[in-house]
């Protein structure tokens, strides 16, 4: 059985992580996530309403890691 990504990675080499960012409004949670996921830092992002969800996939050798970022409102 393989993962449905275009890399055909076996399930045994696939790891998923979930990270929730919590904190007061305006402290930079969305900016930090944007910098890591998109390699773009923005210091004037509109406030998050509810929860924003972003996924980043990282390939390292024969392993695949999916990191799920949950960006909460302040």
Q: Where are the domains of the chain?
A: 14-72
Q: Encode pLDDT of 32-59 as tens digits.
A: 999 999 999 877 888 999 999 999 999 9
How far apart, in Å, are the Cα atoms of 23 and each of 6, 53, 59, 61? 35, 16, 30, 34
Average pLDDT, the chain: 86
Q: What is the pTM of this model?
A: 0.75
Eight-class DSSP state of 10: B
Alpha-carbon radius of gyration of the chain: 15
CA-based nearest residue to 61, from 7, 2, 1, 5: 7
- Phi and psi, residue 40, nearest 5°: -140, 115
CA-based nearest residue to 37, from 16, 59, 17, 55: 55
């Amino acid at each position: 059985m393989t993962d449905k990504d275009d890399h055909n990675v076996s399930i045994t080499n696939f790891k998923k992580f979930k990270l929730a960012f919590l904190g007061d409004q305006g402290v930079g949670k969305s900016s930090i996530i944007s910098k890591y996921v998109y390699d773009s830092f923005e210091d004037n992002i509109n406030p998050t309403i509810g929860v924003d969800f972003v996924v980043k996939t990282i390939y390292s050798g024969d392993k695949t890691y999916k990191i799920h970022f949950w960006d909460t409102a302040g």
